[in-house]
Amino acid sequence: MSILPSRQQIIISIENQKLYLLNQGTLIKQFTISTSKNPPSCLENSFGTPLGLHSVEEKIGEDEPIGTVFKGRVSQGYTYKEASDKEQSINLITTRIIRLKGLEPSKNLGDPYDTYNRYIYIHGTNHEKRLGQPFSNGCIELSNQDCLELFSLVNLGDHIWIG
């Protein structure tokens, strides 16, 4: 399979807990993130952040208010600040969803390693104070403001390297 580079790329450093947005090799912006509290893994049910080359497959939530809570990729019609204390105690998917698709067969594309089928996203979180350290269940989490900004800058098909 031949993959041509996208004009814009996202590089995710699990070690540094940083996301770097590049355009034609030039750093545009860097964001503090949270990746999985479990070791990196492409295997389903591992709850690890998958490694390797991915692309932006879907962008969800464009017109929703900042902090909107999503379940099953559907807006729940309220923000995490309006959620119950019990709901706020868990790690919510908030603001926007950038859904990833693996591009490496038998690594992050195809069962049992398929990033898309594992519902791995870049998204906002209601636990912004934990950014900068591994905390998620496999997704890449950003502050809600950073998620809003990144969502506006990325395009479908942009490549994402996670390492």
Q: What is the pLDDT of residues 19-64, one digit of tens each?
A: 999 999 999 999 999 999 999 999 999 999 999 999 999 999 999 9
Within-domain flag for 105: yes
| Euclidean distance between CA atoms 132 and 150, whole angstroms | 17
| Helix segments in 105-153, DSSP class H | 144-153
Within-domain flag for 103: yes
What is the average per-residue pLDDT within 99-119? Answer: 97
Percent of the chain at pLDDT exceeding 70: 99
Identify the pLDDT of residue 152.
98
Within-domain flag for 60: yes
How many domains is the chain partitioned into structurally? 1
- Is the model's pTM score more than 0.75? yes
Within-domain flag for 3: no
Within-domain flag for 1: no
| Euclidean distance between CA atoms 30 and 37, whole angstroms | 21
Examine the pLDDT at 132 and tell me if it is beyond 70. yes
Contacts of 15 (CB under 8 A, 6+ apart): none
DSSP state at residue 42: -
Identify the pLDDT of residue 92.
98
DSSP state at residue 81: G
Within-domain flag for 97: yes
Task: Report the CATH number that the domain containing residue 147 is assigned in CATH.
Answer: 2.40.440.10
Identify the pLDDT of residue 4.
81
Examine the pLDDT at 1 and tell me if it is beyond 70. no
Identify the pLDDT of residue 3.
80
Within-domain flag for 133: yes
Beta carbons of 26 and 94 less than 8 angstroms apart: no
DSSP state at residue 114: -
Identify the pLDDT of residue 40.
97
Q: What is the enclosing helix (H) or strand (E) of 9? A: strand 8-13
Regarding predicted confidence, which is higher, 32 or 6? 32
Q: Which domain holds residue 93?
A: 8-162
Within-domain flag for 2: no
